Amino acid sequence: VKLLTLIVVFSLAATLLPAQEPSSPVNLNVTPGSLTLEVGNTSTLSALVTDANGQSIDDAAVVYYSRARRSVGVNPTGRVEAYRPGEFVIVALVPTDPEASPRRAEPLLQVEIPVTIPNPPISDISFQKTQGSFYAETTVPLAVQVQDTSGVQRHDVEVNFTTSDESIAEVNRFGHLHLRSIGEVTVTATAEAATTAVSIIVSPNPASTLELTSTVDEAATGDVVRFSTTIKDSTGQVVNDMPVQYAVFGESDASIIASGASAQIARDGRFVAERSGRYTIISTVGTRAVRRILDVTPRDVTRRIEVVGHGPVRDRHTSDLWVWEGPDGRDYAITGTWGADGHAYIWDVTDPAHMSIID
């Protein structure tokens, strides 16, 4: 009887002992704390989660994600891979809910790991569009293609130009080749350790007369007007391969306040005015120039708007409106929202008087 009583007492005592609660994470340490990787290289992060006593919590869930997934990636085990050069951030976190999606998990603990991916070195540089004739007293823009060791064309690299004889040609810091006099000259381009050179022959300038024409004599704002320059030599023969530079100046209507960039003209002679006014277009070939005046009138685009229906969105500010006809013949619209986490609504607006949200 005494033995049975003792067993019962011990059994009751074991039942009354409090259950051991799991330790709560209070610290997340990720090593290394920062990474520098070449394009194409990988590295693995290691995470240690500890409790208030500094004891490791081995079964704690750690989630990784990249804030620039197209430039640097990370998988669930912490393996980081570099895709593109730049400065990026990998996030490691202990989620409040271990079942949550990595990029939407609410963090209990969070650490950011900076990742630096330097640009690969330049491996090749080459001149583009250096065929054809070159004439004294003209300016030619130089174009080069720069490529790094990863095979990517680079546009963020400083290119330095030099010429073998500055009395014949010189290059400014913008890559414009000024041809001073006739003769043969070598132009060299350098980007980091890569270099290339091209030899050109500068011929006498044949331009004697210039004629500037346009597709119209008057235009409205927003119209594209095409200007062209006819170059003739002293015998009246047309010269087709000389570089032409266009410029525009003028004043917009006095009634327009803060008109900004009122007009512009492209290298190929396409002109457009943002504001009405009188503009002078100048065509320059070497030391010769010709000009033409163009009047630009306001474009009358005002019209009355008739409201044919309402589609209420009462809990968010609305921005953007895109309407189109679907392949099923019905009319649809998308409206965006401002200040509401990027929500968008899809509408069926076939009957404007009875518009409805369908997604």
Q: How much is the pLDDT for 314? A: 79
Q: Answer whether residue 2 is part of any domain.
A: no
Q: How much is the pLDDT for 9? A: 41
pLDDT in tens, 283-308: 999 889 999 999 999 887 777 888 88
Q: Give the full edge-to-edge strand order of the sheet including 107-117.
A: 35-36, 107-117, 86-95, 63-66
To the nearest 10°, the Cα dihedral for 65, 67, 71, 74? -10
Q: Answer whether residue 303 is part of any domain.
A: no
pLDDT at 23 over 90: no
181 and 144: one domain?
yes
Q: Answer whether residue 3 is part of any domain.
A: no
73 and 41: one domain?
yes
Whether residue 227 contacts residue 271, with contact meaning beta carbons closer than 8 Å, is answered with: yes
> What's 39's domain CATH number?
2.60.40.1080
| Structural domain ending residue among the three candidates 61, 82, 117 | 117
105 and 130: one domain?
no
Q: Which domain holds residue 55?
A: 27-117
If one counts the domains in the chain, the total is 4
128 and 195: one domain?
yes
215 and 293: one domain?
yes
pLDDT in tens, 240-284: 989 999 999 877 666 666 556 688 999 999 999 988 889 999 999
Q: How much is the pLDDT for 101? A: 65
pLDDT in tens, 133-159: 899 999 999 999 999 988 889 998 999
Q: Answer whether residue 311 is part of any domain.
A: no
Q: Answer whether residue 153 is part of any domain.
A: yes
Q: Answer whether residue 257 is part of any domain.
A: yes
Q: Answer whether residue 112 is part of any domain.
A: yes
292 and 213: one domain?
yes
**Cβ neighbours, 10 Å, residue 121:** 12
Q: How much is the pLDDT for 7? A: 42
Q: Give the full edge-to-edge strand order of the sheet including 42-44.
A: 42-44, 79-82, 72-74
Q: Answer whether residue 260 is part of any domain.
A: yes
